[in-house]
């Protein structure tokens, strides 16, 4: 017995051809016999892709290969490190003047950086608040003035006055004085220097030679500790109106303001702020900017929170009055130049900061950052 190669049925062994009784296959047990029917057609060959498709596939494979090659051999740039954060500028002094330090025809503030025992003169971009340059260090910095837009005069504890280039902060000349400089008043091509012993001398701005300076204010106008903010009253000109700010010499230093035109009083009012005190005397801060008289004082009740008031020069009406706690707990200088009011204020211990204030709103435009060290 042997199985049918087509259906597996059992077949009797025989030398002759047989037919499977189950499936009808002929010679199903003979190895090599054809299982297919004689008339069954041969299977058709598998279709091949068109020539255009082959070309597209070849191009795509080539592009992929090139891409991998580029990725492998291309030089990948390392990620850039973030720029170091600029250090905020602090000062221990109230000196503030202006030059054109970057050639954009806009006033740029100049002040002392640090300044308690050693300090540098620094110039700050008046538009952005970014530091432009800083000078070499001076011991016990004190006197500072900008007699013109291209020169900065600075002095410390030594009997030397240094002239710095307003564009670079580099020294131009150094003048030997009879004593340490205290205050500087600029004239036309010259300056008067008041020394710490109360005497005064004149110098030429071109080279520091000693010479009288008749065009500078007299020494009596710039003497006395913190003489700028101790003026009482403070007076500014806003268009054709003269605005005066006054504080009583005794008692609570409640501020009052008056507007005058041609000597005639236009208005007079008491303000809802007091003058801050230093050395037992009131400090008055009044500037003209943005077509208004800007007053900086402290609140009447506690006398600790700084406030900013903008007065209309023609009527005395308050355009705005806002708390200015962002200025810190004390103010040491306020000056107007260009589009902004520049305020030096902050904490007595950590040092004061320089800020630009928008006269239209009283808000901060920027806080100054320190320039790189020379």
| Same domain (yes/no): 288, 267 | yes
Any idea what the CATH number is for the domain that residue 218 is in?
2.40.128.630
| Same domain (yes/no): 119, 258 | no
pLDDT of res. 18: 61
Domain end, chosen from 224, 259, 292, is at 224
Q: Are 111 and 344 in contact (CB under 8 A)?
A: yes
Domain end, chosen from 170, 203, 224, is at 224
| Same domain (yes/no): 320, 265 | yes
Query: Do the domain assignments include residue 137?
Result: yes
Q: Which residue, among 121, 119, 95, 123, has the nearest Cα to 109 in the 3D structure?
A: 123
Query: Do the domain assignments include residue 13?
Result: no
pLDDT of res. 60: 56
Number of structural domains (the chain) is 2
| Same domain (yes/no): 234, 374 | yes
| Same domain (yes/no): 185, 124 | yes
Largest CA distance in the chain: 149
- In 3-state terms, what secondary structure has residue 163? strand
pLDDT of res. 179: 94
pLDDT of res. 1: 58
Q: Can you say how many angstroms the Cα of residue 272 is from the centroid of all Cα atoms in its chain?
A: 33
Domain span holding position 334: 230-374
Any idea what the CATH number is for the domain that residue 321 is in?
2.130.10.10
| Same domain (yes/no): 316, 334 | yes
pLDDT of res. 34: 42
Q: Can you say how many angstroms the Cα of residue 212 is from the centroid of all Cα atoms in its chain?
A: 42
Q: Write the DSSP symbol of residue 19.
A: B
| Same domain (yes/no): 211, 140 | yes
Query: Do the domain assignments include residue 363?
Result: yes
| Same domain (yes/no): 276, 158 | no
Domain end, chosen from 224, 239, 273, is at 224
Query: Do the domain assignments include residue 38?
Result: no
Query: Do the domain assignments include residue 358?
Result: yes
pLDDT tens across 39-69, in order?
445 555 555 556 655 555 565 565 555 454 4
pLDDT of res. 149: 87
pTM: 0.76
Query: Do the domain assignments include residue 241?
Result: yes
| Same domain (yes/no): 182, 214 | yes
Query: Do the domain assignments include residue 31?
Result: no
| Same domain (yes/no): 204, 281 | no
- What is the chain's pLDDT, residue by residue, as a tens digit (374 residues)? 566 666 666 656 554 556 666 666 555 544 444 444 444 455 555 555 566 555 555 655 655 554 544 444 444 454 554 445 678 999 989 999 999 999 999 999 999 998 778 999 999 999 999 999 999 999 999 999 999 989 999 999 999 999 999 999 999 999 999 999 999 999 999 999 999 999 999 999 999 999 999 999 998 888 776 788 999 999 999 999 999 999 998 899 999 999 999 999 999 999 999 999 988 899 999 999 999 999 999 999 877 889 999 999 999 999 999 999 889 888 999 999 999 999 999 876 678 999 999 999 999 999 999 998 87
- In 3-state terms, what secondary structure has residue 53? helix
How many whole angstroms separate alpha carbon 206 and alpha carbon 215? 15
| Same domain (yes/no): 177, 304 | no
Provide long-range contacts, Cβ within 8 A and 24+ apart, for 109-113.
109/337, 109/342, 109/354, 109/368, 110/144, 110/146, 110/152, 110/166, 111/144, 111/344, 111/354, 112/141, 112/144, 113/89, 113/370
Query: Do the domain assignments include residue 245?
Result: yes
Q: Which residues contact 331 (CB under 8 A, 6 or more apart)?
A: 276, 283, 285, 296, 306, 343, 344, 345
Q: How many CB atoms lie within 10 A of CB 80?
A: 6
| Same domain (yes/no): 207, 269 | no
């Amino acid at each position: 017995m042997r199985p049918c190669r087509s259906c597996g049925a059992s077949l009797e062994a025989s030398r002759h051809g047989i037919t499977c009784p189950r499936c009808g296959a002929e010679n199903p047990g003979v190895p090599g016999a054809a299982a297919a029917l004689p008339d069954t057609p041969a299977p058709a060959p598998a279709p091949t892709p068109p020539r255009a498709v082959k070309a597209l596939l070849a191009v795509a494979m080539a592009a992929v290969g090139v891409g991998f090659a580029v990725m492998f051999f291309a030089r990948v740039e390392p990620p850039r490190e973030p720029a170091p954060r600029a250090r905020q500028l602090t000062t221990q002094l109230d000196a503030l003047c202006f030059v054109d330090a970057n050639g954009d025809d806009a006033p740029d503030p100049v002040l002392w950086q640090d300044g308690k025992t050693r300090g540098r003169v620094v110039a700050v971009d008046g538009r952005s608040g970014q530091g432009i340059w800083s000078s070499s260090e001076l011991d016990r910095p004190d006197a500072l003035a900008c007699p013109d837009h291209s020169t900065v005069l600075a002095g410390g504890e030594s009997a030397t006055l240094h002239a710095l280039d307003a564009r670079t902060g580099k020294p131009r000349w150094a003048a030997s004085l009879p004593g340490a400089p205290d205050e500087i008043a600029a004239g036309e091509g010259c300056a008067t220097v008041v020394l710490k012993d109360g005497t005064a001398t004149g110098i030429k701005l071109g080279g520091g030679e000693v010479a009288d300076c008749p065009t500078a204010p007299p020494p009596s106008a710039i003497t006395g500790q913190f003489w700028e903010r101790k003026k009482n009253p403070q007076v500014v000109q806003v268009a054709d109106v003269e605005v005066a700010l006054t504080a009583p010499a005794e008692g609570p230093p409640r501020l009052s303001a008056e507007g005058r035109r041609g000597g005639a009083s236009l208005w007079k009012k008491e303000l809802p702020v007091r003058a801050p005190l230093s050395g037992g005397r009131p400090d008055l801060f009044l500037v003209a900017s943005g077509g208004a008289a800007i007053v900086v004082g402290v609140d009447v009740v506690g006398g600790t929170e700084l406030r900013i008031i903008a007065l209309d020069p023609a009527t005395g009406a308050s355009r705005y009055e806002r708390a200015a706690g962002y200025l810190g707990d004390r103010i040491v200088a306020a000056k107007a130049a260009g589009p902004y009011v520049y305020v030096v204020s902050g904490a007595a211990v950590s040092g004061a900061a320089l800020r630009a204030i928008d006269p239209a709103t009283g808000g901060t435009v920027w806080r100054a950052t320190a320039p790189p060290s020379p």
